């Protein structure tokens, strides 16, 4: 069979969204960021809201997220993305505003901005990528690093006694009246990618309702920081991260899911 | 018809903000500037003009709300006092690096640290030399009256948008708290047109996406960006503003801004009544600084004295401007104390023995 016979519209099962810029991603091979970027852009394309969408990039590996996602973007100071998004959304309530943040950004240095944006019920979407480590600066301990987990600043493993234990900011903000939709997903398998995309779509759709924050946490891998192959990293993530950071809805339509109360 | 009111400086800032067609104010309470947000909230600006006023969880958050909103081309501002402005320095550096227009008001109090809630001018260095990290400058306006607190809101935004640069109004607790007659500016419409060449208002098919960032990982690009910034800061010289009192035949020149300039006007009056040939130069823009005018004055006067409520900050810029041509003295008071005209007069007599 000739290749030209295969490349036909009716045979197409997948194509890259034009909203992903045609360039090489800066992320390590095996990293989840690229997939999450793509899902967000697919949703923006499918909803037809590119001209009404403004993204806010973090400090961290995704600092140049604006190089890859073809929407207007502002690059925030470390941890301050929810404050920037607040400023944008308050003055442009009809626009779709989202932040894209890592765990060091959102759950350590930006804790106050995260909690208060959630508490005020800003009508924004927060996409929170939790890989349990500071990736860009070289694999230091994050607020989400598991107990006993090795990092470059906890080389003998996180000692929760002296370093404090990891914490679940997603469950914390779900308690606040200002959050409308809170869920945790991953993007390491085709099935999980599909679920994650549905959640992203919901987070954007919710902005039409003006009922508060939609926050989606993505538990992701950092094979470079964890010093594992991509496959091993995904396996390790499933075996270790998922028990502490369980998948699924935490709060839906402003109500805590029964098992999470 | 003129619209007159008796107001505190802080209230004048707030009223002028509504009238300037400001789109958003983000702030956090701190003495001695809390009346700005209190007045705004009381006025219901969302009903008067549609202006958004939001109390943030910290000064760190409020300056970053300004950062996000300024990137969309809207007129946005914040106000605070010294310790709060220190907290904002990170955000201000980002805003300057990303070249966004906005207005920041500092109603200065005495420091360092928690210091005091009384007026001071000890934040001069922080305001004109950068404050946060990196090579950047703010446009700095120094009001000396409640009237100028009102007038400089619109002027501040005009300059901010002209240069796409943050403007800082460097006031102090004295001007913020005192009441004076003020002629209120007319109500302006809020802007509805936004410059699509740089604002993040949503990428339309007819243009590339706009990115607001201060990041250039490539050092050559960051070098070029810095050169461009420096060129912009140099070009601001055309907007230098200052005021001169009794300078025509002056042999002795006082240099003072803001509250100190008000006090020095009295000093000039008293000294003139005693036959002393003394004048006052009041910088209105502290950046750009009236360097050229001071250099010119240095050829005509015998001596200068910078008067400021600090240990000696602006005096350094005066000395740089006159470049050793004449002696430049300093008189200051510290930590929230306000000097009286008599204090300054005494210093004038001491420094200028033989000078008159």
Q: pLDDT tens across A76-124, in order? A: 999 999 999 999 999 999 999 999 999 999 999 999 999 999 999 999 9
Chain B partners within 8 Å of A87 (Cβ): 24, 26, 64-70, 76
d(CA B300, CA B284): 21
Q: Any residues with CB less than 8 A from the CB of A213 and at least 6 apart, and which? A: A117, A118, A121, A122, A123, A124, A125, A126, A173, A178, A179, A180, A181
Q: Is the pLDDT of residue A260 over 90?
A: no
Quote the pLDDT of residue B227.
98
CA dihedral B42, B45, B48, B52 (to 10 degrees): -160
Query: Which pair of structure tokens corresponds to residue A28?
Result: 């390590």
Number of helices (H) and strands (E), helices first, in chain B? 13, 15
pLDDT in tens, B7-26: 999 999 999 999 999 999 99
What's the per-residue H, E or C state across chain A?
Answer: CCHHHHCCHHHCCCCCCCCECCCCCCCCCCCCHHHHHHHHHHHHHHHCCHHHEEEEECCCHHHHHHHCECCEEEECCCCCHHHHHHHHHHHCCCCEEEEEEEHHHHHHHCHHHHHHHHHHCCCCEEEEEECCEECCCCCEECCCCCCCCCECCECCCCCHHHHCCCCCHHHHHHCCCCEEEEEEEECCCHHHHHHHHHHHHHHHHHCCCCCCEEEEEEECCCHHHHCCCHHHHHHHHHHHHHHHCCCEEEEECCEECHHHC
Query: Which pair of structure tokens corresponds to residue B170?
Result: 């460097």
| Closest CB from B67, B203, B217 relative to A87 | B67
Contact A112/B at CB under 8 A:
yes
**Matching residue, tokens 């922080």:** B126
Mutate to test the interface with A, among B58, B59, B64, B205 (most CBs of A within 10 A): B64
| Closest CB from B57, B76, B98 relative to A116 | B57
Quote the pLDDT of residue B126.
98
Report the CATH number that the domain containing residue A23 is assigned in CATH: 3.40.50.970
> Helix A111-120 to helix B59-70 angle, to the nearest 10 degrees?
70
Number of domains in chain A: 1
Pairing of strands A53-57, A72-75: parallel
Quote the pLDDT of residue A194.
98
- The Cα-based distances of B75 to A130, B173, B299 in angstroms read 35, 25, 42
Pairing of strands B242-245, B278-283: antiparallel
User: pTM of the predicted model, to two decimals?
Assistant: 0.96
Q: Any residues with CB less than 8 A from the CB of B114 and at least 6 apart, and which? A: B83
- The Cα-based distances of B52 to A99, B18, B28, B223, B302 in angstroms read 21, 10, 14, 37, 52
Contact B203 A57 (CB under 8 A): no
Contact A50/B at CB under 8 A:
yes
Contact A63/B at CB under 8 A:
yes
**Mean pLDDT (whole number) for A150-168:** 97
Chain B partners within 8 Å of A204 (Cβ): none
Pairing of strands A133-134, B102-108: unpaired
Q: Is the pLDDT of residue A6 over 90?
A: no
Backbone region of residue B107 per phi and psi (left: phi > 0; alpha: psi in -120 to 50; beta: other values) = beta
Q: Taking a C-beta distance cutoff of 8 angstroms, is the pair B103, B114 a contact?
A: no
- Helix, strand, coil % (nearest 5) of chain B? 40, 20, 40
Chain A partners within 8 Å of B104 (Cβ): none
d(CA B194, CA A91): 13
Q: Taking a C-beta distance cutoff of 8 angstroms, is the pair B102, B77 a contact?
A: yes
Nearest Cα residue to A74 out of A99, A92, A93, A51? A99
Q: A20 has which bridge partners? A: A69
Instruction: Please give, rounded to a whole number of angstroms, the shortest distance from the CA of A75 to a CA of chain B.
Output: 5
Contact B200 A50 (CB under 8 A): no
pLDDT in tens, B281-300: 999 999 999 999 999 999 99
Which CATH fold topology does B4-201+227-238 show?
A: Rossmann fold (3.40.50)
Which CATH fold topology does B241-351 show?
A: Rossmann fold (3.40.50)
Q: Is the pLDDT of residue A29 over 80?
A: yes
Domain residues for the domain of A195 are 3-260
Which residues of chain B fall below pLDDT 70?
353-356
Quote the pLDDT of residue A258.
78
Nearest Cα residue to A87 out of B54, B95, B342, B211? B54
B4-201+227-238 and B241-351: identical CATH topology: yes
Contact A112 B201 (CB under 8 A): no
Per-domain boundaries in chain B: 4-201+227-238, 241-351
Contact A83/B at CB under 8 A:
yes
User: Coil, helix or strand for B53?
Assistant: strand
**Mean pLDDT (whole number) for A119-144:** 97
| Closest CB from B56, B72, B98 relative to A91 | B72
Residue in A with minimal Cα distance to B100: A74
**Mean pLDDT (whole number) for A154-160:** 97
Q: Taking a C-beta distance cutoff of 8 angstroms, is the pair B214, A75 a contact?
A: yes
Q: Any residues with CB less than 8 A from the CB of B52 and at least 6 apart, and which? A: A90, A91, B23, B24, B25, B45, B46
Task: Using pLDDT thresholds of 50, 70 and 90, give the confidence band for residue A261.
Answer: low
Quote the pLDDT of residue A1.
76
CB pairs under 8 A between A and B: 129
Quote the pLDDT of residue B356.
43
């Amino acid at each position: 069979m000739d290749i030209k016979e295969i490349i036909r519209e009716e045979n197409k099962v997948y194509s890259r969204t034009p909203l992903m810029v045609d360039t090489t991603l800066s992320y390590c091979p095996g990293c989840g960021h690229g997939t999450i970027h793509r899902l967000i852009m697919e949703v923006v394309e499918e909803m037809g809201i590119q001209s009404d969408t403004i993204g806010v990039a973090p400090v961290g590996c995704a600092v140049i997220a604006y190089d890859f996602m073809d929407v207007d973007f502002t690059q925030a100071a470390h941890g301050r993305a929810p404050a920037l998004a607040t400023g944008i959304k308050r003055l442009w309530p009809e626009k779709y505003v989202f932040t894209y943040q890592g765990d060091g950004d959102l759950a350590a240095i930006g804790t106050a901005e995260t909690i208060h944006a959630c508490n005020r019920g800003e009508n924004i979407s927060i996409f929170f990528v939790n890989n349990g480590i500071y990736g860009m600066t070289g694999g230091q301990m994050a607020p989400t690093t598991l107990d006993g987990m090795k990092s470059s600043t906890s080389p003998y493993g996180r000692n929760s006694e002296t370093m404090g234990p990891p914490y679940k900011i997603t469950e914390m903000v779900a308690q606040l009246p200002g959050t409308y939709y809170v869920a945790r997903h991953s993007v390491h398998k085709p099935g999980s990618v599909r679920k994650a995309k549905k959640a992203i779509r919901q987070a954007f759709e919710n902005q039409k309702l003006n009922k508060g924050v939609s926050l989606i946490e993505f538990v992701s891998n950092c094979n470079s920081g964890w010093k594992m192959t991509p496959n091993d990293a995904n396996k390790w993530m499933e075996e270790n991260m998922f028990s502490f950071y369980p998948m699924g809805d935490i709060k839906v339509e402003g109500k805590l899911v029964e098992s999470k109360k | 018809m003129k619209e007159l009111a008796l107001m505190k400086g802080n209230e004048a800032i707030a009223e002028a903000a509504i009238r300037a067609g400001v789109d958003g104010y983000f702030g956090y309470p701190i003495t001695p500037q809390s009346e700005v947000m209190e007045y705004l909230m009381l006025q219901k600006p969302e009903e008067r003009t549609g202006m958004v006023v939001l109390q943030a969880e910290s000064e760190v958050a409020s300056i970053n709300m300004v950062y996000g909103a300024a990137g969309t081309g809207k007129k946005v501002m914040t106000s605070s006092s010294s310790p709060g402005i220190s907290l904002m320095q990170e955000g201000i550096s980002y805003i300057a690096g990303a070249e966004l227009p906005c207005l920041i008001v500092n109603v200065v109090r005495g420091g360092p640290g928690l210091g005091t809630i009384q007026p001071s001018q000890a934040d001069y260095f922080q305001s004109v030399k950068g404050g946060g990290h990196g090579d950047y400058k703010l446009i700095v306006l120094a009001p000396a009256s409640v009237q100028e607190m009102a007038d400089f809101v619109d002027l501040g935004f005009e300059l901010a948008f002209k240069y796409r640069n943050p403007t800082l109004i460097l006031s102090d607790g004295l001007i913020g708290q005192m009441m004076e007659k003020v002629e209120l500016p007319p109500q302006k419409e809020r802007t509805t047109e936004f410059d699509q060449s740089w604002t993040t208002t949503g990428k339309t098919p007819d243009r590339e996406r706009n990115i607001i960032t201060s990041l250039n990982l490539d050092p050559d690009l960051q070098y070029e960006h810095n050169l461009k910034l420096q060129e912009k800061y140099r070009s601001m010289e055309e907007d230098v503003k200052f005021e001169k009192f009794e300078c025509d035949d002056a042999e002795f020149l006082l240099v003072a801004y803001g509250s100190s300039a008000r006090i020095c006007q009295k000093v000039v009056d008293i000294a003139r009544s005693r036959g002393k040939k003394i004048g006052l130069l009041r910088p209105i823009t502290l950046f750009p600084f009236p360097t050229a005018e001071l250099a010119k004055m240095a050829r005509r006067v015998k001596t200068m004295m910078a008067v400021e409520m600090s240990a000696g900050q602006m005096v350094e810029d005066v000395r740089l401007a006159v470049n050793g041509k004449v002696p430049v003295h300093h008189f200051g008071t510290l930590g929230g104390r306000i000097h009286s005209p008599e204090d300054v007069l005494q210093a004038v007599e001491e420094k200028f023995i033989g000078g008159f």
